[in-house]
Amino acid sequence: MLVIGAGGGVGTFAVQLATASGATVTGVCSTSKVDLVRSIGAHDVIDYTREDIADRPCRYDVVIDTGGDRSVGQLRAALTSTGTIVIVGGEGGGQVLGLSRQLQAIALSPFVRQRLGVVFSSPRRTDLELLAVMLADGRVVPVVDRRFTLDEVPEAIRHLRAGRARGKVVIVV
């Protein structure tokens, strides 16, 4: 499994959930997050500032993209012929509502052997109960980058937009 954005708030959970489920995980992140991504269980790490995922000969059964800046074509190129892409979140760059990749994946999926999916979150009780067990027994540990007070929310948003958060950013109420 390839997790793009492995050092961010969603990516740190994706890496841990996948490894706890027995998957072999390669994380993609910036230089400053490589050690973090290894420490939470990634078997291999690609520093995207030094290496492009396209330069690797291996293909993945699952690609989870939380990063938002690779095209559906680039993501498909990293997949096995029957692999699955999961796009989490939107993207920037002036795209329509930040959803152009998601819409493209949904439209293309019926016509290719690969499964192209998007995540629209709707919590289910059984999933939350399983997550609670994994948190309680330490298989999954939330990675908290920084805590901000309510008065510091604008600073927290700037921090998140800069793409430097290592894990989750917490607002203390």
User: Is the same domain home to 104 and 169?
Assistant: no
- Sheet containing strand 79-88, strands side by side: 44-47, 26-29, 2-4, 60-65, 79-88, 115-119
Q: Which of 20-29, 46-55, 62-71, 99-108 has the lowest mean pLDDT?
A: 99-108
Query: What dihedral do alpha carbons 22, 66, 55, 32 form, nearest 10°?
Result: -90
What are φ and ψ of residue 125, in 5° steps? -55, -45
Residues 73 and 70: their CA atoms lie apart, in Å, by 8
- 12-32 residue pLDDT tens: 999 999 999 999 999 999 999
> Could you tell me the CATH number of the domain that includes residue 125?
3.40.50.720
User: Is the same domain home to 83 and 155?
Assistant: no
Range among 91-100, 128-137, 156-165 with highest mean pLDDT value: 128-137
User: Is the same domain home to 11 and 73?
Assistant: yes
pLDDT at residue 95 greater than cutoff 50: no
Residues 67 and 91: their CA atoms lie apart, in Å, by 8
User: Is the same domain home to 125 and 157?
Assistant: no
User: Is the same domain home to 88 and 68?
Assistant: yes
The residues pairing with 123 across neighbouring beta strands, listed in sequence order, are: none
| CA-based nearest residue to 87, from 114, 111, 55 | 114
Please give the pLDDT value at position 140.
96
Confidence of residue 97 (pLDDT cuts 50, 70, 90): very low
- Residue 86 · residue 11 · CB < 8 Å: no
Q: Which domain holds residue 167?
A: 145-173
Confidence of residue 151 (pLDDT cuts 50, 70, 90): very high
What total number of domains does the chain contain?
Answer: 2
Residues 35 and 88: their CA atoms lie apart, in Å, by 23
- 78-94 residue pLDDT tens: 999 889 888 886 655 44
Query: Which sign does the torsion angle of CA 154, 160, 165, 167 carry?
Result: positive
Please give the pLDDT value at position 102.
65
